[in-house]
Amino acid sequence: MACGALKFGLRQNLSSLLASKHQSSVNKSRLSPPLRSWHASVLKTDYRKVVDPKYNKGTAFTHKERQILNIIGLYPSCHRTEKEQLFAVYTNFKAHKTNLGRYIYLRALRARQERLYYSFIIDRIEDVMPIIYTPTVGIVCQNFSHIYHTSMGLYVSKYDKGHMTHVLNNWPETDIRAVCVTDGERILGLGDLGANGMGISVGKLDLYTALGRIPPQYLLPVVLDVGTNNQQLLCDPMYIGVREERCKGEEYDELVNEFMQSVVKAFGVQTLIHFEDFATPNAFRFIKKYQSEYCYINDDIQGTASCGLAGFLAAEHITKKPLNEHVIMFAGAGSAALGVGNLLVKELLSRKIKEEDAVKNIYFIDVDGIVTKGRKKFVIPDIKRFAKDLPPEKNLEKLVEDLKPSILLGATGQGGIFTEKILRSMGKNHKHPAILACSNPTNKAECTAEQAYNFTEGRALYASGSPFPPVVINGKRLTPSQANNAFSFPGVALGVLCTKPHTITDDVFLVTAHAIAEYAREFAPNENALYPPVKEAANVAFHVGVAVAKYVISCGAATIYPIPKDITKHVKDYQYYTDLGTALPSVWPYPELARLPLPDRDEEMECAD
C-alpha cells in the first residue's frame, strides 16, 4: 500500500478516535462523583492490562498509543523501536556476570514483556539456548527453590488428588494445547530434584516457542509434585515442593493417571501431553500405557530417539557406509540410549533388514557392563532384544577395543567415561568415528569436544547434549554439533498441534529423524557435522513440523477440517511472530488500537493533530 494512503487512513482513524476521546473527556467533567470514581477505576484497570506481560510493549508504546491508553507519564518519554529494545535487552543480558544471573534476568523480562522476551530468545538463540536450556537450566533446577519468585507454571501436587481438574482449570489461560510435565525424578543427569524440576518444563516449552514458534499462550509447564527422595531438598528450609518422600507404587500410578484424565477434562482430548525427565522405569511403563490412549510423547525416549537416529543417518551419509554395516555401541541403557536403539531397529526393519541382522551389530553397555543373554534380570524388558551371547565384561575400554564400534553414543549421566584410550581406539579403527556424548549438563558429557577431536586428530564426527565451543586442531577450526532432542520435540509438537491427531505413533519419530537428517544434508551441509548448527534450529523445527503434519494427514490421523491443501502454509500460519507492529495477540484487549492501520516497521506513528 502506498505510504501516503496508509498515513491518510491512519489520520482518519485517529481523528475520529480523538474526537470521541475529546467527547468522553467533556462528558467526564460532568459526571457525578460516584461515576467519576468508576471512570477512574476503569482507567486503573486499563493500566493493569497494559502491564499484563502479554500485551506490555514497555517503551515501545508510541506516543499516540500512550495517549489513547491514558498511560502517558507511566513510561519514560523515549519511544524505543523493537530493535532498540532488543539492543537494550542484549546489553543487560551480557552485563550479568553469571549464567544464573542471565537466567534470572530473562525470567524477569518474561514476567514483564512476554513478546519482547520471545523476540529476544528467537533473535539470539545461540546465546540464549545455553541459558534457558541445558546446561544452565541444570543449575537453575538445582537452585530453583532459592531463586523462585513467580510461578512460571502449574504445581499439581499429591494433595490435589481427587480435584486435579480444578487445579488445572485455575491456570489463567483457557486454550491450552500442550502440557509439558515432569515429576522431577531424573532431571537431566542430575537426579531427583523434586518440584525444582519446574525449570525443565518451562525450558522445554520455551523452545516450543523459540524454535517451533508455537504461540506461548497455548503452552502449560507443569510439575507433578509427588515428593522427593533428595535428602538435601527435604532438609532445605527454602524448598518449595512437597516435603515428603516420593509416592510410589499404586499411589503414584493413581496420581499420574488422574493427571492424564484431568488434562483431557480441562483442555480437551487433543492436548499434547509431553512427559519429561521421569525416571526410566516409569518412563517406559507410561509410554506403553498412554501412547495409544492420549496425544502423548515421552521426550527423553522418543524425542531423543529421533535426534539420535538423525545423527546416525548423518554419519551414514558422511562415511558412505550403510547403517547396518556400522558397529554401534550404546554406553547407557536408559530412556535415552534405549529409545535411540529401538528407533534405529525400526529404521533398519523399514529397509527390509531382518530383526536378527538389525540388532547384530548393536551393543548396549550399562553399569553392569555389556548386556548379555546370560543376565538374570532386565530392568527394562525392551533391552532383551539387544542382549548378546558373549561373556560378561564391564570394562568399557576393553569393549571398545574388542568390538571396534564406528558409532559410540553415551547417555549414562557419567561425565568423562569416554577416556583417552577409548577415543584413541575409535580414531585408530575408523577414519570418521561418530562420537555422541549425549549426557547433560556439560559436566556429565561422556567426553568434551576438545578430547574427542584431540585424540582422533580432528577426524571424529562429534556431537554433545550440551554445547561445547569450537576447537582448533592443526590450524583447523572444528565446530562440534549439539545432539539434543531440541532438534526434534519443537518440530514434532508443531506438526502435531497443527493437525490434532488423537495419538502419536513411533512412526512420527522416524519421520522426524529423517526430516532432521534431510535438513542437515540439504540446507546445512558440512562434512564433519552430524547436526545442523543451533542457529538453524528454528528452521529445522519448521522442516520437521511440516514433515510431521504431512505424515499425520497422509495416514488419516488428522482431525482438522478441512484438510489444508497447502500444508506448508498451514503450518506457517499456525506460528507465532513477535513483531510488535504486526503480531497482535488473538485476544488483544485494546480494540481501539487494533483498528489502527499499522505503521511501517520502525516508523514512528505520525501524529494526527
Ligand X SMILES: NC(=O)C1=CN([C@@H]2O[C@H](COP(=O)(O)OP(=O)(O)OC[C@H]3O[C@@H](n4cnc5c(N)ncnc54)[C@H](OP(=O)(O)O)[C@@H]3O)[C@@H](O)[C@H]2O)C=CC1
Contact footprint for Mg ion (CB under 5 A): 277, 300
Q: Measured on CA atoms in the order 209, 214, 215, 220, is the torsion positive or negative?
A: negative
Enumerate residues 6+ apart whose C-beta is below 8 A from 172. none
Residue with cell 524448598: 239
Instruction: Name the residue type at position 36.
Output: R
The answer to whether 355 is a known ligand-binding residue is: no
Active site residue 133: yes
Residue 413 binding: pick among Mg ion, ligand X, ligand CC(=O)C(=O)O, none (C-beta 5-8 Å cut-off by kind): ligand X
Contact 446, 415 (CB under 8 A): yes
From Mg ion, ligand CC(=O)C(=O)O, ligand X, none, which one binds at residue 160 (CB under 5 to 8 Å depending on kind)? Answer: none
Which is nearest to 114 in space by CA: 219, 198, 199?
219
Please tell me whether residue 192 binds ligand CC(=O)C(=O)O under the rule CB under 6 A: no
What, of Mg ion, ligand X, ligand CC(=O)C(=O)O, none, does residue 365 touch, CB below 5 to 8 Å by kind?
ligand X
- Please identify, using beta-carbon distances, which residue of 89 and 463 lies nearer to ligand X: 463
- For 565, the grid coordinates are 491443501
What is d(CA 141, CA 196) in angstroms, rounded to the nearest whole number? 5
Residue 311's binding partner out of Mg ion, ligand X, ligand CC(=O)C(=O)O, none, with CB under 5 to 8 Å set by partner kind: none
**DSSP per-residue letters across 215-271:** -GGGEEEEEEE-----HHHHH-TT--S--SPPP-HHHHHHHHHHHHHHHHHHH-TT-
Q: Considering CB distances under 5 to 8 angstroms, the limit depending on partner class, which of ligand X, Mg ion, ligand CC(=O)C(=O)O, none binds residue 510?
A: none
CB 380, min distance to ligand X, A: 8
Which one-letter amino acid corresponds to residue 245?
A: E
Q: Which residues bind ligand X (CB under 6 A)?
A: 186, 188-189, 280, 300, 304, 307, 331-337, 365-368, 379, 411-414, 417, 438-440, 444, 465, 483-485
Task: Measure CA of the first residue to CA of the last residue in the chain; give whole Å.
Answer: 23
* Separation of alpha carbons 571 and 550, rounded Å: 10
Q: Report which of 456, 570, 554, 566 is spatially closest to residue 505, judged by C-alpha positions.
A: 554
* Euclidean distance between CA atoms 570 and 574, whole angstroms: 6
Neighbouring residues of 398: CB distance < 8 A, sequence distance ≥ 6: none
Question: Which H/E stretch holds residue 331?
Answer: strand 328-331
DSSP states of 377-412: --SSGGGGGG-BSS-----HHHHHHHH--SEEEE-S
Active-site annotation holds for 204: yes
Nearer to ligand X, 189 or 458 (CB): 189
Regarding 128 and contact with ligand CC(=O)C(=O)O (CB under 6 A), the answer is: no
Cα–Cα distance for residue pair 336/304, rounded to 1 Å: 6
- Report the residue from 206, 258, 300, 536 that binds ligand CC(=O)C(=O)O according to the rule CB under 6 A: 300
219, 180 contact by CB (below 8 A): yes
The residue from 204, 444, 500, 550 that is catalytic is 204
- Give me the numbers of helices (H) and strands (E) for the chain, helices first please: 25, 14
Shortest separation between residue 496's beta carbon and ligand CC(=O)C(=O)O, angstroms? 18
Question: Residue 46, annotated ligand binder?
Answer: no
Given a contact cutoff of 8 angstroms between Cβ atoms, the answer to whether 417 and 392 are in contact is no
Dihedral class, residue 353 (left if φ above 0, else alpha if ψ from -120 to 50, else beta): beta
Q: How many CA atoms lie within 13 A of 361 on its CB side?
A: 18
Side chain identity at residue 110, one-letter code: R
Q: Which of 206, 225, 258, 277 binds ligand CC(=O)C(=O)O (CB under 6 A)?
A: 277
Query: Cβ(413)–Cβ(189) under 8 Å?
Result: yes
368 binds, among ligand X, Mg ion, ligand CC(=O)C(=O)O, none (CB under 5 to 8 A by kind): ligand X
CB nearer to ligand CC(=O)C(=O)O: pick between 130 and 465: 465
Residue nearest to ligand CC(=O)C(=O)O (CB): 440
Q: Is 440 annotated as a binding residue?
A: yes
Which residue from 85, 484, 488, 578 is in contact with ligand CC(=O)C(=O)O, where contact means CB under 6 A?
Answer: 484
Q: Is 507 annotated as a binding residue?
A: no
Residue 206 binds ligand CC(=O)C(=O)O (CB under 6 A): no
CB nearer to ligand CC(=O)C(=O)O: give 62 or 280: 280
Q: Is 485 an interacting residue with respect to ligand CC(=O)C(=O)O (CB under 6 A)?
A: yes
Given ligand CC(=O)C(=O)O, Mg ion, ligand X, none, residue 412, with its beta carbon under 5 to 8 Å by kind, binds ligand X
Calpha distance 565→206 (Å, rounded): 30
Does 448 interact with ligand CC(=O)C(=O)O (rule: CB under 6 A)? no
Is position 188 an interface residue for ligand CC(=O)C(=O)O (rule: CB under 6 A)?
A: yes
The verdict on whether residue 459 carries a ligand-binding annotation is no
Per CB under 6 A, 347 contacts ligand CC(=O)C(=O)O: no
Number of residues binding to ligand CC(=O)C(=O)O, judged by CB under 6 A: 9
Q: Do the annotations mark residue 123 as ligand-binding?
A: no
Catalytic residue among 55, 103, 118, 133: 133
* Residue among 533, 496, 498, 527 at smallest CA distance from 512: 496
**607: burial class by Cβ within 10 Å (0-12, 13-18, 19+)?**
exposed
- The binding site comprises 186, 276-277, 300, 440, 484
Tell me which residues are annotated as active site: 133, 204
- The binding site for a divalent metal cation comprises 276-277, 300
Which residues in this chain contact ligand CC(=O)C(=O)O in the complex, by CB under 6 A? 134, 188, 277, 299-300, 440, 465, 484-485
- The binding site for (S)-malate comprises 186, 440, 484
